[in-house]
Amino acid sequence: MSRILMAMFGLVILAATVHPQQRVAPAEVRIDPVRPTTYLSFERHDGDDVWLRLRNNSRWAVAIRTEEPFRINEPDKWGGRRDALGLLEGVEVSPAYEIERYPAEQSVYHNGCTFSESWVPSGRSVLFKVARAGLTGVAKLRVNFRYEWELDDAPEPGHYVYFYDTDMRRAER
């Protein structure tokens, strides 16, 4: 019995070495492969405000919740899977966001019932401002987003992009 098992084991090893499986490299979904698919970066200070840029570095459009999207849409479709208008490159928006602070009682929420979904096409970015005081101390700002391939009104995983108080201090140097 052990000879049969050894012979079968030898055949499996031989088959694996004679016909190795070829691995297919996954398609890169990022435009800049060294950056995340979606990220926030410091743009500038303006008095008591900090301007941040949300960049879509993926090959898909991403949706964020914003106020008044009807004023900032591109008139033509952006070529994605959805029948939706995309935000213009570099447009100033007012997105829904949360600033998580320590202690938690000091957290800040910028959200409302008049917010609606706005699409940031692949390779584009949008600007928004945040009160500088909200990003002092131990704090992180997060913006929720979703990809164009995700289902509407389905229990999909949540995606967040973060900007930390330490990112702002590093940018100020």
Q: Which two tokens stand for residue 8?
A: 């079968």
Question: ∠ CA 151-156-157 to the nearest 5 degrees?
Answer: 145
State the pLDDT confidence band at 170, using cuts at 50, 70 and 90.
Answer: confident
Confidence of residue 7 (pLDDT cuts 50, 70, 90): low
pTM, to two decimals: 0.78
CA–centroid distance for 117 within its chain: 15
Higher confidence at residue 73 or residue 29? 29
List the domains of the chain with CATH numbers.
Answer: 29-172 (2.60.40)
Q: What is the dihedral of CA 157, 100, 55, 119, to 10 degrees?
A: 50
Of 8-22, 68-82, 107-121, 130-144, give the lowest mean pLDDT range.
Answer: 8-22
Q: Which residue has the higher pLDDT, 144 or 7?
A: 144
pLDDT: is 47 or 53 the higher one? 53
- Given a cut of 80, whether residue 49 has pLDDT beyond it is yes
Residue 11 clears pLDDT 70, i.e. is over it: no
Residue 68's pLDDT is what?
Answer: 72
Contacts of 127 (CB under 8 A, 6+ apart): 43, 51, 52, 53, 54, 90, 91, 92, 93
Tell whether the model's pLDDT for residue 10 goes beyond 90. no
User: Is pLDDT of 34 > 70?
Assistant: yes
**Across 62-76, 87-101, 109-123, least confident range:** 62-76
pLDDT of residue 130: 93
